[in-house]
Structure 1
Amino acid sequence: MPNDYACISVNSHCVAANNGPGYLCQCSKGYEGNPYLLNGCQDTDECALRKQNTKYKDLYPCTKGVCHNTPGSYFCKCKKGTKSDGTDFGCQSLHSPADKMVIGLSVSVTVVMALACLLLMQLQRKRHKKEKDEYFKQNGGLKLYDEMRSRQVDTIRILTEKEIKRATDNYNEDRVIGCGGHGMVYRGTLDDQKEVAIKKSKVISDDWREEFVNEIIVLSQINHRNIVRLLGCCLDVDVPMLVYEFVPGGTLSEFLHGAGCRSPIPLDLRLKIATQSAEALAYLHSSTSRTILHGDVKSANILLDDQLNAKVGDFGASALKSMDESEFIMFVHGTLGYLDPESFISRHLTDKSDVYSFGVVLLELMTRKRAIYTDNFNEKESLSYSFPLMFQKRRHLVMLDTEITDDAVMVVLENMAELAFI
């Protein structure tokens, strides 16, 4: 190329002159400026021009796409969900009208179903909450709240069923530590890591439901080292639940009669358990503002802690009476072999009923026989009947546990036997 070539700008070229010999310089397509100057031809930003004036939209088409400038040109990128060349025929949808209709219907149905599910869940939650509120009222929750506000009750904690389920791993069978005809007892761990025993009854009568909170109010005021402490309750369920302190050593019944290896139990330990249990019953009968009848005294309801101290528990069968009234309790709770004959016949429960049942527990401690046991002839016998009979014949020594029939302690055993019959 001759040194005197006039088109010195990059992106420029020459064209023949129209009116005589020679040539003219022009910037290449997509560039504009002065081709006779060094770097005089600069890139034309087609995308910017489209925004400045509508005439450029026809000159540089980009229908339904996104304009991107390039050196000397531009390209039109179709948006997501569309295809084709935006600079030519415009961007076209990837879906046909029929496809769009199907997609629209599908989305609409999905949205409607989701809204219906949300509405149903909301209605179920409201119904569930209403049901729980009704249970709470039926079980005396409002009355208990009033007592708590007036500080008549300040030691009871009201737990929700959700908290109870968390504590018992949703009533896991591995958590069961006791069961019977009336319900189950679970070992639970509350949110604060406190170990508790949760009593979940199967059914209750309407009469008992009415007295439930009254009994909780009285039992919450009990504070004795040999009585299992009531910690709380759950009222937002059909059958209310009780929450007690957890006593790790099991029951006296298991300690005396448990299966497996029979470990010796020294007399002083038996006397300690008897004394502590007696102190607990005496407290219930005479050391509170109103007499509290346990109603179900038996070795299975006397628990032992890790130091083998006795704790009288399970007040689910107890009833209350005023110290100033002679009115008897018109129902009887008990277990065969422990219930005194008078209460069984008259269907009247008194503090003497608890004392009688405790006498049977004393006999268990002395003999290590169950309240209803099997004799040498494989016959069922009642300890409360057979031992007094043998005592009258002065043959009761053969029924005593051989582990404690030492001559040095016979006086103590005789006194215990006599005490059991008072």
Structure 2
Amino acid sequence: MILKFLIHVIILVTCPIHVNVSAQHHRPIAKPGCDSRCGYLPIPYPFGMKGSECYAGKWFEIECRNTSRYRNYNHAPYLKSIGVEVTSIDVEEGTVTINHPVYRSNCRIKDSQPLNQSLEGSPFVYSQGYNKFVVVGCNIIAFLQSNGSEASGCVSICDDHDNVDDIGKMELLNTDCNGKYCCETSLPLYLNEYTTEIKGLKENGTGHHECSYAMVVKQDRNSYQDYTGDPLKSYYSLTHGAVKDLDMVPAVLEWEILNNLDLKLPAGHHSHCYDTNVTSSRYKRSGRRCSCEVDAYGSNPYVAGGCSQPANLRPNAYSNSDSYSGSHHWYIERTNRTKSIIKGVSISFGSVVLLLVLWRVFKVTKKIVVKKYREKIFKRNGGLLLEQRLSSGEVNVDKVKLFSLKELEKATDNFNTNRVLGKGGQATVYKGMLIDGTIIAVKKFKVQGKIEEFINEFVILSQINHRNVVKLLGSCLETEIPLLVYEFIPNGNLFEYLHEQNEDLPMTWDMRLRIATEVAGALFYLHSAASQPIYHKDIKSTNILLDEKYRAKVADFGTSRMISIDVTHLTTVVQGTFGYLDPEFFQTSQFTEKSDVYSFGVVLVELLTGQKPISLLCPEEAKSLASHFIICMEENRVFDIIDERVMKEGQKDDIMEVANLASRCLELNGKRRPTMKEVTLELEGIRRLEGKSNAEERHNELVRSEDYQSWPWDEYSSTSEIRSTFDLNSRTPTLEDVHILTV
């Protein structure tokens, strides 16, 4: 850009009479003959107004309504099909920002009905990447229900002395909503409708609560700095005013051109279109989007010429046909022209030299500025502290690496959205490939935390060396928020594999028992076998990944903490996932190793039953899978909820042993729960008995098929003797038992 500008300046200076500046060409954003603005907002195609030829189907029709809400503007745009006000449209990102209502509960005259704004069948979904489900209130649990089954939620707690009226005066402008007074959680993918439910938080999970607020709201992902250069928290900077005064908040809808629209998209030299699946998980291609090759303000790839470059400054033909008579006039003219040529060449040569000098200065200055900036970011992200840890030997240099930003940008194609493996409340994970061919997963955090905590977490993960824990490869400290680099795990997570089964890859009883044993072993290692005990704090089936051989890998240590040997618990704010959280944690706010045991117990019940941890469609007593399982255990009807495949493939005694173990993990009193060491030993014992039982069955079938004349009673007696050394009524095998079974 600077080089082009300097060239234009030189042309204008050296050849002033030969250049005629042409008017800049404006890119079209709407179809010819269609209105391109409503009040304060430009309306780009595929959105449009009035005639049906101005927009791509009824869903994209904009209604320009009379309003007096905006200064200097008498009209405001509304999405006619949904009836919501539009505040911005971005055709490059495929988003439209709308004003979305706030849901209130127990707020008397301002109470609102549950939201039921359906986008089913439309090209719109609520954006998971741009929005959050935010709840403000005291001691409440809020649920977001989608299509009657998909759900998410969060918990907001307050101190006893907090005034509820003060909560209503809180502003979201500089709030991070970490669970105190305000909480947030991510939206599920492909969300096209939802309802909201708020309950009081008591021991039984129900009860009266004061005025509370819930909303789907746009989260501002831009970072700001104050005069000292330090970053400011500004998560919801577009949401101004106290919560109690908010009727509408900004929310973002993502859109695509649906296949059934059969719309002919423009083909140009500067635009390209590609397949998308924004609105449906059932199809790999549910629609298409377009983008301009050159990102420029005001471009629109959906109309012809919308991506064209502005017209450059072009020289026009110029001729001067002065007539002279006589040789004297001819000589004067020739002399003047020669002087002009010499002067022009001298000026041009000097300008070229000046241009080269300025370009060189610009390149060197830019390089210095970038280097200084990255050094500043490196120091602010704790680079010096980490280098100190590396040099001290606290971190194994052979195991971890400090990656450069350039290296990771090349590996992930500049963090291309097509490389996204998954999105969570705190981070987005991208797939990448290093120069040596190593496939990696790069975790890019959305919110900046305390540097000391990040460095400590990096040090913790660098010390973990277990086959069932995702391996940390390194980090990058040259960005505003540090990046973490992990090994790539190809087969998704346990939640998807368990609840979206297919006959080609069934979740067998043997596989479930093996995965449970592997996860238990990994947690046992973290709690006791690592150099310092580590509490994971967010054990759930989505954080258990499956490698190429479908072996379990515990992942996502974003909330984990390393604990000193002499510390038995950790006091913290509410973090974790509803349905897996230890109930004792709500009473004490103290996280212990037994809290991880409770979460593992929920995963174990998931494996036994094949059911999700939370189901809002079930009766009140069965919404929580853990509670429903405990009730079934107490009423001796646990086999009613065990998965059919488990009942078909497993031995009833072994299934009951695992169910009893899960029941002990879900004890409300943490002291009565087993340790992960005891859980691991018991699961290993059950697996060995299961394997031995299957081997005996195959052996007996072989003997019967060959119709032996005599039975090898001696061999059978020795086998029975070995089996009898293990007490089937004991819940925890001893090391001696395991040794005997191994022999």
- The alignment's TM-score, normalised by the length of structure 2, stands at 0.42
Cα distance in 1 for residues equivalent to 2:388 and 2:520: 34
- What is the letter of the counterpart of residue 213 of structure 1? I
Return 5+ residue gaps in structure 2 as ranges.
1-333, 665-743
Match of 2:114 in 1: none
1:106-125 alignment to 2 at 5 Å? 106-125=348-367
Q: 1:292 to 1:106 in 2, by over 3 A?
A: same
CA RMSD of aligned residues (A): 2.6
Cα distance in 2 for residues equivalent to 1:273 and 1:259: 16
Given the alignment, which residue of 437, 442, 446 partners 1:198? 442
Greater displacement, 109-118 / 283-292 = 109-118
Deviation sequence 1:64-104 (CA, Å, 0-9, x none): xxxxxxxxxxxxxxxxxxxxxxxxxxxx9996222333343
Q: Tell me if 1:185 matches 2:429.
A: yes
Given the alignment, which residue of 275, 289, 298 partners 2:517? 275
Match of 1:343 in 2: 585
Match of 1:322 in 2: 564
Match of 1:145 in 2: 387
Cα distance in 1 for residues equivalent to 2:607 and 2:663: 14
Q: Report if aligned partners of 2:569, 2:593 keep a CA contact under 8 Å in 1.
A: no
Given the alignment, which residue of 397, 418, 424 partners 1:174? 418
Q: Report if aligned partners of 2:509, 2:649 keep a CA contact under 8 Å in 1.
A: no
Match of 1:59 in 2: none
* Secondary structure, aligned partner of 1:419: helix
Match of 1:46 in 2: none
1:363 shift after superposition: 0.9
Q: Report if aligned partners of 1:319, 1:329 keep a CA contact under 8 Å in 2.
A: no
Q: Report if aligned partners of 2:522, 2:554 keep a CA contact under 8 Å in 1.
A: yes
Cα distance in 2 for residues equivalent to 1:277 and 1:107: 73
Q: Tell me if 1:354 matches 2:596.
A: yes
Q: Report if aligned partners of 2:569, 2:591 keep a CA contact under 8 Å in 1.
A: no
Deviation sequence 1:373-407 (CA, Å, 0-9, x none): 35467998221222212222223322211111149
1:127 shift after superposition: 2.1
Given the alignment, which residue of 440, 461, 464 partners 1:222? 464
Given the alignment, which residue of 333, 336, 339 partners 1:97? 339
Deviation sequence 1:259-280 (CA, Å, 0-9, x none): 7668532111100000000000
Given the alignment, which residue of 162, 172, 176 partners 2:406? 162
Match of 2:611 in 1: 369
Extract structure 1 runs of 4+ deviating beyond 4 A. 92-95, 259-263, 374-380
Q: Report if aligned partners of 1:332, 1:348 keep a CA contact under 8 Å in 2.
A: no
Cα distance in 1 for residues equivalent to 2:337 and 2:587: 88
- What is the letter of the counterpart of residue 400 of structure 1? I
Q: Which has the larger radius of gyration?
A: 1
- What is the letter of the counterpart of residue 157 of structure 1? K
Q: Report if aligned partners of 1:375, 1:381 keep a CA contact under 8 Å in 2.
A: yes
Match of 2:534 in 1: 292
1:33-48 alignment to 2 at 5 Å? none
Deviation sequence 1:301-348 (CA, Å, 0-9, x none): 111111111111111221121011346242443111111122234332
Identical counterparts, % of pairs: 41
Q: 1:407 to 1:254 in 2, by over 3 A?
A: closer
Q: 1:176 to 1:408 in 2, by over 3 A?
A: closer
Match of 1:416 in 2: 658
> Hey, which of these two has a bigger chunk of helix by percent?
1
Deviation sequence 1:33-61 (CA, Å, 0-9, x none): xxxxxxxxxxxxxxxxxxxxxxxxxxxxx
Match of 2:308 in 1: none
Match of 1:246 in 2: 488
Q: 1:127 to 1:311 in 2, by over 3 A?
A: same
Match of 1:306 in 2: 548
Q: Report if aligned partners of 1:284, 1:291 keep a CA contact under 8 Å in 2.
A: yes
Q: Report if aligned partners of 1:321, 1:329 keep a CA contact under 8 Å in 2.
A: no
Matched length: 330
Cα distance in 2 for residues equivalent to 1:94 and 1:410: 109
Cα distance in 2 for residues equivalent to 1:123 and 1:259: 57
Q: Report if aligned partners of 1:302, 1:312 keep a CA contact under 8 Å in 2.
A: yes
* Secondary structure, aligned partner of 1:405: helix
Q: Report if aligned partners of 1:197, 1:243 keep a CA contact under 8 Å in 2.
A: yes
